Amino acid sequence: MAEQPSLIKNIIKKGIIGLIVGGVLVGVAKALTFPPVFQVMFFSYAILGAAVFILLDAPSIKPIGGLKAIVALVAFYAVLSGAYIGGATFLPQYDPEDEKGKIEKLLKAKRAASEQGKAEELLARAKALSEKADAIMARLQTVGGVAEAPAGADGAKAAGAPAGGDLVALGKEQWNLQECYNCHKLFGEGGKKRGPEMDNIGNLMKPDELKQKVMDPQTWMAEGFEKEYEKKKMPNKYKELMEEKEVDALVAFLSSLKNTAVNTPKPIKKK
């Protein structure tokens, strides 16, 4: 029996090499910040490798056959299955339905929040698009007016008249788009935040003056609105929000407001 000590020696020698290789692998995996599962896996591979080499050098066993072989095979599978099942019970157990419920709960709040956000975003986008469409329409109309003008001296006047009407209509759109109605009552509507009624402004301010007021609200002050003027209630943002053409249209609209029945306050020049 000279083989027995050499088998033990074989196991010890290759086992030690396996442990060293495994240790090095774990060290490298840790240095490279692999997750712990991988570190364990690398170590297991090293030990498995050592086991294979041990088996390769192990003395051969007597061949078995017949019923004995079948029983041995079944026993081998039983042990292996037992090891797998036993090992698996140590891992955390998950019920998919349970997990689904938990995830659903977590997502519900988030989804509600993002859906509201989406609706708001869509509304904002729709508003921006309609503003753009209006701007394009305004430009198309002015381009059309210019293109028609040189067609003939008589045609220029004919084309000019409806263009003026269009300008007032475009200006009314600007009144609504820029939300002037929030502060100014007009045609008996709007003006929730206190500002002067506008129905007679066309009789009180010239187009140039109206333009000044819109572009720089500190240029003019409505009589009786000293406090609001000092507090700069009328926003100073339209020169950034509006294009020149849009301001001109708005001014044309304001100039057309000549209802003397309404007491629009007198404008006072400030700068």
Of positions 18, 190, 225, 249, contacts ligand HEC by CB under 6 A: 225
Q: Which is nearer to ligand HEC, 22 or 267 (CB)?
A: 267
User: With binding defined as CB under 6 A, does residue 233 bind ligand HEC?
Assistant: yes
| Identity of residue 131 | E
Stretch of residues binding ligand HEC (CB under 6 A), selected from 62-70, 135-143, 153-161, 212-220: 212-220
- Contacts of residues 161-169 at CB distance under 8 Å and 24 or more positions apart, as own/partner, are 164/252, 166/141, 167/248, 167/249, 167/252, 167/253, 168/249, 168/252, 168/253, 168/256, 169/253
User: With binding defined as CB under 6 A, does residue 42 bind ligand HEC?
Assistant: no
Of positions 238, 248, 252, 257, contacts ligand HEC by CB under 6 A: 238
CB-based contacts of 14, cutoff 8 Å, min separation 6: 50, 53, 54, 57
In whole angstroms, the minimum distance from the beta carbon of 197 to ligand HEC comes to 8
Dist CA 20 CA 43 (whole Å): 10
In whole angstroms, the minimum distance from the beta carbon of 213 to ligand HEC comes to 5
CB-based contacts of 214, cutoff 8 Å, min separation 6: 238, 239, 242, 247, 250, 251
Of positions 186, 210, 249, 252, contacts ligand HEC by CB under 6 A: 210
Check if the beta carbon of residue 3 is closer than 8 Å to that of residue 61.
Answer: no
Q: Which is nearer to ligand HEC, 10 or 178 (CB)?
A: 178
Token pair in block for residue 249? 């249209």
Dist CA 201 CA 195 (whole Å): 13
| Identity of residue 120 | E
CB atoms within 10 A of CB 49: 15
In whole angstroms, the minimum distance from the beta carbon of 137 to ligand HEC comes to 19
Token pair in block for residue 155? 């045609």
Q: Which is nearer to ligand HEC, 29 or 222 (CB)?
A: 222
Dist CA 228 CA 240 (whole Å): 22
Token pair in block for residue 197? 């009624």
Q: Which is nearer to ligand HEC, 132 or 193 (CB)?
A: 193
User: With binding defined as CB under 6 A, does residue 222 bind ligand HEC?
Assistant: yes
User: With binding defined as CB under 6 A, does residue 217 bind ligand HEC?
Assistant: yes
Q: Which is nearer to ligand HEC, 22 or 171 (CB)?
A: 171
User: With binding defined as CB under 6 A, does residue 195 bind ligand HEC?
Assistant: yes
Which residues of the chain form contacts with ligand HEC (CB under 6 A)? 178-180, 182-184, 193, 195-196, 201, 210, 213-214, 217, 220-222, 225, 228-229, 233-235, 238, 250, 264-265, 267
